[in-house]
Structure 1
């Protein structure tokens, strides 16, 4: 009886979802502490830590990105929560404003098919497997042009 109960418990626990957190861990108290006009890049780094991304062009912006995914057994991970905190700075390095976005900015992309079209001829499995037999040393790729 004990073995059956252990087997059922193991089967149920094996079907649970795996939660994974990626990126910056949001802390509402620390985020609220960043004040436009009062803070600068040094104080923001001390409060929030190193940003996930830094803008390379235009106005200086630091991005703190976090996401939480869940994955059921034998399935692809699914984004459950996604947040981006953008901290905008002026040229002197002082905080101008902050902006938070979430799941409303996530774009779901569905690829068109599972093959990439390529130019050239189609080769079968056996041709891929045995295609180079007899071509070593002839100088011709794929056995073409042999005497």
Structure 2
């Protein structure tokens, strides 16, 4: 059977099948690029001018912000992030851009500050547990700790059945 198959498939066809198989295997290793958040268009970002623009003109040019400040000076933040990752690997940030547009009380642009990946702070948690205040109890204390306290006079359950 394999002899018939070998004779029916020419050398060029075999080479084409091997090349196609190799291309399929290599395409599985290609990196995946993702754009998240605000689409950073330098022409539109540079058009925001302090003293000239207001909330309405900024929203018309850039759209709604990624988020707004909740405290302090009214500020709109436009966040853009481009990530790259290979198969079965965590994404890496390739480009990161933040535009912070600050407004006065009348809604006019006071400042438009730009920042990038150099201002990103990476946090690494310390250990797998969150430290808490208080006493650590064992499994048996958790299981049997409330026996006799519920419904006892002067305790958290009141005086029990038939009490005051």
* TM-score (norm. length: structure 2): 0.69
Distance 1:21 1:120, change over 3 A: farther
Partners of 1:121 and 1:81 lie apart in 2 by 48
Aligned Cα RMSD in Å?
Answer: 2.1
Q: Does 1:91 align with 2:110?
A: no
Which residue in the other structure is 1:109 paired with? Answer: 123
Which residue in the other structure is 1:6 paired with? Answer: 20
Runs of at least 4 residues off by over 4 Å: 117-122
Distance 1:78 1:90, change over 3 A: same
Name which one, 1 or 2, has greater alpha-carbon Rg.
2
Partners of 2:21 and 2:125 lie apart in 1 by 40
Where in structure 1 are there 5+ consecutive unaligned residues? 123-140, 142-147
Shift of 1:93: 0.2
Distance 1:112 1:60, change over 3 A: same
Shift of 1:121: 5.4
Partners of 2:105 and 2:125 lie apart in 1 by 41
Between the two proteins, the alignment pairs up a number of residues equal to 124
Partners of 2:45 and 2:69 lie apart in 1 by 19
Partners of 1:78 and 1:108 lie apart in 2 by 12
Partners of 1:75 and 1:111 lie apart in 2 by 20
Distance 1:12 1:34, change over 3 A: same
Partners of 2:81 and 2:56 lie apart in 1 by 25
* TM-score (norm. length: structure 1): 0.76
Partners of 1:117 and 1:45 lie apart in 2 by 41
Where in structure 2 are there 5+ consecutive unaligned residues? 1-13, 144-164
Partners of 1:13 and 1:110 lie apart in 2 by 33
